[in-house]
Homo-oligomer: A and B are copies of this chain.
Amino acid sequence: MTDEELRTEVRAWLAANWKNDLPARADQWTVGPEQRAWLAKVVEARWAVNRWPSEWCGRDLSDAQAKIIEREFAAVKAPGAGQDRTHLYAITALTFGTDVMKAALLKGMLTGEINMCLLYSEPGAGSDLAGIRTRATRDGEEFVVNGQKVWTSGAATADYGMLIARTDWDVPKHNGISFFFLSMKQPGVEVRPLRQVTDESHFNEVFITDARVSADFLLGGLNNGWRVLQTALAYERSVMGDGARGPRRAGDGAANDLVALAREAGKLDDPVLRQDLAKVLSYRRLNALNNARAKADLAQGTSSSIMSLGKLAMSRILHEEARLRTALLGAGSLLDGEAFPRADDANFLTLNAYFTSIGGGTDQIQRNIIGERVLSLPKEPEIDRTIPFRDVRAG
């Protein structure tokens, strides 16, 4: 099929099927019935994952042709195409899953029938993700899973979770981990909302007690989970933009908003605060310029090294912006809540800035990554890298 024929076909299909009348999604973790119905149509018509083999809902198209389709969908604001680039869970399933698993789950994931979550971090394995202690023990054709996961978004509504669990305790820590799709809808899985420092609850703790998962739902083979995880994390980085939130209300216009705040607070002519204002505004601007330059420099794809710098930069931006907002408000920052939205913004940001400086790798871990991967500085000696995990200190 020529590019032109393809374009004609997808345009015709969209013209016939797309009404642009989907309601807004209730939250980011679930897909409503109208969305599901539409996605089912898209998957049925094989527009969802065009680069994939026809066996798995795809069309075996080249990247260039797939992009034609995605552009047509984007032109009319129709969702659902290009999931072979954006659907982290489905990509991981396709790459590493067994045929049994793919047959059972792939289509449902693409149509939004099956909701997913990530079961990676544990209370004892934060910065050191390879230190997980959730165990999966073979029992015939199944594995029995016990342990505790944390910082899980969307766990309450998820049907399956991408789980890393330890399957061998007698080898070094990276070598004894396996990667599963665990059903969340079974008695051994208990989800408890986690109250955050901001008094929100966007995350959950997940307690897993004798939960079961079929060996068919093991991805990438036994004890190969660390490699699967690295690939999944790389997908995740390339898919997700910078998810850092500013103040609850400020939205994107942060620069204008800060200047407006200074003006409202009667501090726009305070020479000391003006210097701070210029610094904070510059941090955000410089980060945007860095990102633009990185994008221009790179022919294709994204580089995790640039992402690492951007994340570190964003930590500083958010913490410094929180300090500036506080200083601009003065005693007004003592107040809080809906009745004092400016204070509430400053307060929220003061705490939520840690989401960026701690979450997804602390600033300290990011500096290691930048130092080692970008600047090629030598790694620290790792005392637990080569010893059996059973002998590694925990606490």
Contacts and interface: CB of A to CB of B under 8 A. Distances in A.
Contacts of A243: none
A251 interface: no
A22 to B, nearest CB: 53
Q: What bracket does the count of chain A residues touching chain B fall in?
A: under 10
A275 B272 CA distance: 8
A375 interface: no
Interface string A265-285: 000001110010000000000
A43 to B, nearest CB: 53
A383 interface: yes
Contacts of A383: 381
Contacts of A272: 271-272, 275
Contacts of A271: 270-272
Nearest to A274: B272
A21 to B, nearest CB: 56
Contacts of A381: 381, 383
Interface string A229-272: 00000000000000000000000000000000000000000111
A61 B54 CA distance: 99
A51 to B, nearest CB: 46
A392 to B, nearest CB: 13
Contacts of A275: 272
Most buried by B among A270, A272, A275, A381: A272
A272 B272 CA distance: 5
Interface string A97-136: 0000000000000000000000000000000000000000
A381 B381 CA distance: 8
A272 B278 CA distance: 13
Nearest to A275: B272
Interface string A358-395: 00000000000000000000000101000000000000
A57 B78 CA distance: 98
A383 B381 CA distance: 8
A269 to B, nearest CB: 11
Nearest to A270: B271
A282 to B, nearest CB: 16
A272 B270 CA distance: 9
Nearest to A381: B383
Interface string A321-339: 0000000000000000000
A381 B393 CA distance: 14
A381 B383 CA distance: 8
A307 to B, nearest CB: 28
Closest 5 CB pairs of A and B: A271-B271, A381-B383, A271-B272, A272-B272, A272-B275
7 contacts: A270-B271, A271-B271, A271-B272, A272-B272, A272-B275, A381-B381, A381-B383
